A and B are shown apart, each in its own frame.
Chain A
């Protein structure tokens, strides 16, 4: 247990009558990059904000770097970095002034990394923050979350607002920070944005963790969407044999669609010799993964709040 940087057990959070978190259990290990994936409104930000003591749990226990966020207070938060999901920066102060102030709050820690990180992300430090574009504000947020080399970085939708090139640069930076000793917990509503960097991911939906696994296993379990069209009629017997392993199979004239799990090799081999006009195997998107996992988790399927 001593190697868990985040340990959440039975976490419930209500906003009035609305249950935002409905019993979240989660463990993030030291030294890993952990992805927290789910649609908007699933409870990702609520969870992260509880870890920072911006919100207080309704029930359940939370340990961040071994401490309760509330009891740990400023001493604990000094070891964390945080990128808010909705970052609002206003005022006439420049990005440099804001970042220097945030370093000052941490006793000067991180001040030396402001310039190099800004250069790396092509961030103009001398413009007033309120005149920055959404993407540039996001860069300011990324810099302040990581500049002081926190033990644990909590990043809420870090890639939103960054163009693809900068997303790549950001993911490279995340890996470097991890290698330098920072554990990273990052959320996204798009798995593909972070699957290249995350060691493990949790899928969250309706305030619950649907599944936790490493990305490759999750991808394999999720399977791929198969869409094959034949040039001419195929004997039904041959088709049955070829498509035996396909789930949710639908045949519509010359076209067959379904879900294929596992390596695509055997499927392609079995199609050999048949008059295939068009073949598509595509990773299923996140929403489908979550729904699958959720079904498996709660077979009654009764309406969760």
Chain B
């Protein structure tokens, strides 16, 4: 089981060297929840709803503000559907692109890849370390949100918040793994960022438009953002099909990276 040992050594190392950055991101995500959740009583459910009602219905739908007057809708529109995924995707796609391709371009991968560790083992250790970091940040977001919801007395179930936090984790891990896989296949950080970010952005737009355009259900079926949010996890709990699809996307990205990375030239 020395491969398992090698994986654990690599995970530990990646977490040690990234811990300071990780702490900074955790503070930022806690701040997102800390800024939005306490505002709900002040904005008041009905008051916010009446402001939103003055907007054109297509715009309301595109912004995801359909249910902003409800506590669950408010959390979805602010924390879980907008700012937390935006921040976490910047983190995850950036980390994914840097993990292999970025370090390869800068020469930092030389020591790791020339060490007595199989390349697929090295890659697995790094992907799992990335998943761990995304998970810790999703947990931070979820826990801070749940605490503040309790403090301000919003009518949202804990299970709904956990379901949304789980979806956030799955969504970000999918895109982060795509970016990492593109980097592991191409060795080019810029391509990894571009592919990861453009799929994420177009998926967000597709989700936003799905309630507005004709045949929006098609967009909803294709967009990972919809897999995460269309089922309204804060109010309705885990949308099983959507979350399985997000997990599948991550799995496919893993497979692509593991297929190509061990076989190609590094640092060319």
Contacts and interface: CB of A to CB of B under 8 A. Distances in A.
Nearest to A87: B107
A291 interface: no
Contacts of B115: 74, 77, 102, 105-106
B218 interface: no
A113 B137 CA distance: 38
A54 B9 contact: no
B256 interface: no
Contact of B268 (A52, A55, A89): A55
A252 to B, nearest CB: 48
Interface string B1-44: 00000100110010011111100000000000000000000000
Interface string B110-129: 11011111100000000000
Interface in B209-251: none
Binding site secondary structure of chain B? helix
B13 A101 contact: yes
Interface in B242-268: 265-268
Interface in A83-110: 84, 86-93, 97, 101-102, 104-106
A60 to B, nearest CB: 15
Contact of B113 (A54, A86, A93): A54
B114 A82 contact: yes
Interface residues of A, number: 30
Interface string A33-51: 0000000000000000100
B107 A54 contact: no
Interface string A60-92: 000000000000011101101010101111111
Nearest to A55: B265
Interface in B185-204: none
Contact of B266 (A55, A82, A101): A55
Given A91-B17, A92-B17, A84 B116 contact: no
B106 interface: yes
A182 interface: no
B152 to A, nearest CB: 36
Contacts of B267: 49, 54-55
Contact of A105 (B18, B106, B117): B117
A56 to B, nearest CB: 6
Contact of B114 (A77, A88, A97, A101): A77
Nearest to A72: B116
A78 B116 CA distance: 5
A102 B6 CA distance: 11
Given A78-B116, A88-B107, A93 B268 contact: no
A86 B115 CA distance: 16
Nearest to A74: B116
Contacts of B118: 73-74
A15 B106 contact: no
A159 interface: no
A175 to B, nearest CB: 24
10 contacts: A49-B266, A49-B267, A53-B114, A73-B118, A88-B103, A88-B107, A92-B19, A93-B17, A97-B16, A106-B116
Given A91-B17, A93-B17, A105-B116, 14 more contacts: A15-B268, A49-B267, A53-B114, A73-B118, A77-B114, A78-B116, A82-B110, A87-B107, A88-B106, A88-B107, A92-B17, A93-B16, A97-B16, A97-B17
Interface of B: 6, 9-10, 13, 16-21, 103, 106-108, 110-111, 113-118, 265-268
Interface pairs A-B: 7 shortest CB-CB: A88-B107, A78-B116, A84-B110, A74-B116, A91-B17, A77-B116, A93-B17
Interface of A: 15, 49, 52-56, 73-75, 77-78, 80, 82, 84, 86-93, 97, 101-102, 104-106, 144
